[in-house]
């Protein structure tokens, strides 16, 4: 019996036609599988390989190379906290400490008791101008403070509220002038209508 749903396998089979190189579909396919299961099991990776007609070893190699793919259970909402230089200089340590307290975990990889949250520390996410920042699920949140982390965590517990907060107009920083996104836009980051930016 498949671990991935029939619907998802059909969706994965359609992916290669969208790329000049069919192999390019492997990452979005793994992403879809991870979205459905929460993490990638060996069986899921094998089914992705079969759906894409790729060598299972190749698919596993991609899945184990990138840290955004998980091989153990994670929280329903996953925080990827950038702790690289720009974010560190602008207070990521304090923000990460607050996140740990807010979701009730002792460190990266631990899942909160309610199963809602986990976090990990990652290298630069390409949005240094908005430091300190993080990715949560598929959204970027930036100009983080301990107050903003609390808001995000609380809003995640009420999904509709989180959507609204994430698209709200971005508040001006009280302690420093912020760059103009139109002229100093971060690479690999695309600003949405409002307060969050997402991966391009
Ligand atoms: S150092 Fe954090 S986004 Fe670049």
Protein residues with CB under 6 Å of any ligand 1 atom = 82, 84-87, 124-125, 127-128, 131, 133
Q: Radius of gyration of the chain from Cα atoms?
A: 18
123 C-beta neighbours (distance < 10 Å), count: 12
Bond prior to 132 in cis (omega within 30° of 0): yes
Distance from the alpha carbon of residue 128 to the mean position of ligand 1, in angstroms: 4
For residue 34, which of 70, 79, 80 has the smallest C-alpha distance? 70
| Cα 87 to middle of ligand 1, angstroms | 5
| Residue 183 clears pLDDT 80, i.e. is over it | no
Number of alpha helices (DSSP H) and beta strands (DSSP E) in the chain? 8, 6
pLDDT, tens digit (0-9, with 9 covering 90-100), for 21-43: 989 999 999 999 998 998 999 99
Domains along the chain?
A: 6-65 (1.10.10.1590), 77-167 (3.40.30.10)
Residues listed for the chain: 200
Across 51-57, average pLDDT: 96
Percent of all residues in the chain with a pLDDT value above 90, rounded to a whole number: 72
Instruction: Count CB neighbours of 88 within 10 A.
Output: 14
Rounded to two decimals, what is the model's pTM? 0.69
DSSP-based three-state secondary structure for 80 = strand
């Amino acid at each position: 019996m498949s671990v991935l749903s029939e619907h998802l396998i059909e969706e994965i089979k359609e992916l290669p036609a969208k790329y000049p190189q069919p192999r390019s579909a492997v990452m979005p396919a793994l992403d879809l599988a991870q979205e459905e299961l929460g993490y990638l099991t060996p069986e899921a990776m094998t089914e992705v390989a079969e759906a894409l007609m790729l060598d299972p070893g190749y698919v596993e190699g991609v899945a184990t190379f990138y840290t955004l793919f998980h091989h153990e259970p994670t929280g329903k909402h996953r925080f990827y906290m950038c702790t690289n230089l720009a974010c560190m200089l602008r207070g990521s340590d304090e923000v990460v400490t607050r996140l740990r307290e807010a979701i009730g975990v002792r460190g990266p990889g631990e899942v909160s008791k309610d199963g809602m949250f986990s976090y990990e520390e990652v290298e630069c996410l390409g949005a240094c101008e908005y430091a300190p920042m993080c990715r949560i699920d598929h959204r970027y949140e930036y100009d983080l403070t301990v107050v903003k982390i609390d808001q995000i965590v609380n809003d995640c517990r009420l999904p509709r509220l989180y959507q609204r907060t994430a698209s709200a107009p971005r508040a001006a920083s009280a302690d420093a002038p912020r760059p103009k996104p139109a002229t100093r836009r971060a690479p690999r980051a695309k600003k949405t209508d409002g307060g969050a930016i997402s991966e391009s």
